[in-house]
A and B are shown apart, each in its own frame.
Chain A
Amino acid sequence: MKLLTTNFIKCSVKACDSNMTSFPLRYDNQCELELNYEDDESIIEKSYQFLVGILDKIDWDALLKVCADLGNNDLPPNKPLLTQDSLLSLNDNERLILKQLFNLLINTEIVNGSMKCDSCEHVYLIKNGIPNLLLPPHLS
Chain B
Amino acid sequence: MSRPEEIAPPELFYNDKESKKYTENSRVQYIQYVMTKRSLELLNLKESSFILDIGCGSCLSGEIISSASEEVNAGMNHYWTGLDISPDMLEQALIRKEEEKFNNDDDSNSDDESNGEIGGLRNGDMMLHDIGQGIPFRAGSFDAAISISAIQWLFNKDNNNHDPIKRIKRFFESLYSALTKNGKFVAQFYPANDDQIDTFLQIAKQTGFSGGLVIDNPESKKNKKYYLVLSCGTMSSNDANDSDNLNLSGASMDVSNIHDKKELKKKRGNGMLESKKSFILRKKELMKKRGREVRGESKYTGRKRRDRF
Contact = CB atoms under 8 A, between A and B. Distances in A.
A130 B126 contact: yes
A53 interface: yes
Interface in A101-140: 106, 108, 111, 128-135, 137, 140
A128 B307 contact: no
A131 B83 CA distance: 10
Interface string B74-92: 0011110101010000100
Contact of A106 (B79, B161, B306): B79
Given A10-B138, A35-B309, A72-B309, A43 B117 contact: yes
* Residue of B85, B127, B170 with most partner-chain A CB within 10 A: B127
B125 A2 contact: yes
A123 B186 CA distance: 32
B137 A10 contact: yes
A35 B138 contact: no
A134 B127 CA distance: 9
B307 A49 contact: no
B: contact size bracket: 35 or more
Contact of B136 (A50, A72, A133): A133
B303 A111 contact: yes
Contacts, number: 115
B301 interface: yes
A1 B117 contact: no
Nearest to A59: B138
A25 to B, nearest CB: 10
B309 A33 contact: yes
Judged by DSSP, the binding face of B is: loop
A34 B128 contact: no
A23 B274 CA distance: 43
Interface string B37-74: 00000000001111000000000000000001000000
A54 B50 contact: yes
B136 A9 contact: yes
Interface string B122-134: 0001111110011
Contacts of B170: 14
Contacts of B141: 8, 57
Contact of B306 (A5, A33, A50, A84): A33
Interface of B: 47-50, 68, 76-79, 81, 83, 85, 90, 94, 117-118, 125-130, 133-134, 136-138, 140-143, 161, 170, 174, 180, 300-301, 303-309
Top 5 closest A-B pairs, CB basis?
A12-B136, A50-B48, A133-B129, A8-B141, A35-B307
25 contacts: A2-B125, A5-B81, A5-B125, A12-B136, A14-B134, A32-B303, A32-B304, A35-B307, A46-B68, A47-B48, A49-B77, A53-B48, A53-B143, A54-B50, A57-B180, A59-B138, A84-B47, A128-B94, A128-B301, A130-B94, A134-B85, A134-B129, A135-B130, A135-B133, A140-B133
